[in-house]
Amino acid sequence: MTKKNILFLMILSALVLSSCKKEKESRTIITTIEEPQISKTPKTIGDTVINNSMQWGDVVYSYRIERQSIKDVTVKDEDGQKYYDNTVSLRVDGPNGEIFNKTFKKDSFSSYINSDYIKPNRSVLIGIAFNRVEKGGNAIFVATVGSPDSQSDEFMSIKINIDKSGAMTMSKLQDMQDEEMMTE
């Protein structure tokens, strides 16, 4: 073999060996964090009206739940976004007319919620929902006070019991999975 061939084979071997070398893998992931878009005007959870009926014993009763924003009361979520607080009106009608009618504010539940949590700028009255009618007993509704951010899971629930005479009692709801709160 000539010197040129030997030199060529040596260069070719060096290239082949260096191209087979395994490159070091990087486990670093580079990403960007999106800053939340904070509106300068306060947001609302949304004004809603629910009209529905329930079988209470042998009689059909109707109820109306109406949520409205309070334009002069604002709170901030953890990102600094402002939201309006709400009032929620609950009306229950029986065969002889109205048996219950009350408008709730967040402060209506102050005895059932931690005082740090119900402070201004921390939470809003999110809403009230019908849960069920107890056999032979009360109509059960659930009120929710919590963070106005729809992505948040921070809230507290209060059980509202209404009897057929229109008397109301409330209690703190520990866990929505409580057997007593399961829909029958």
pLDDT tens string 20-41: 555 667 777 777 777 778 888 8
CA-CA-CA-CA torsion sign (99, 103, 104, 107):
negative
Whole-number pLDDT of residue 23: 61
**pTM, rounded to two decimals:** 0.74
pLDDT tens string 92-141: 999 999 999 999 999 899 888 877 666 667 789 999 999 999 987 899 99
Q: How confident is the model at residue 184 (pLDDT cuts 50, 70, 90)?
A: very low
DSSP readout, the chain? --HHHHHHHHHHHHHHHHHTPPPPPP------PPPP---SSPB----EEEEEEEEETTEEEEEEEEEEEEEEEEEE-TT--EEEEEEEEEEEEETTEEEEEEEE-GGGGGGGS-HHHHSTTT-EEEEEEEEEE-TTS-EEEEEEEE-S-TT---EEEEEEEE-TT--EEEEEES-TT-GGGS--
Query: Starting from the edge strand earliest in sequence, which strands make up the sheet with 124-133, in order?
Result: 124-133, 139-146, 155-162, 168-173
More confident residue, 62 or 136: 62
Contact status, residue 172 vs residue 155, Cβ threshold 8 Å: no
Residues 6+ apart with CB under 8 A from 3: none
CA torsion angle 73 75 81 84 (round to 10)? -40
Whole-number pLDDT of residue 141: 97
| Phi, psi at 96, each rounded to 5° | -105, 15
Whole-number pLDDT of residue 138: 95
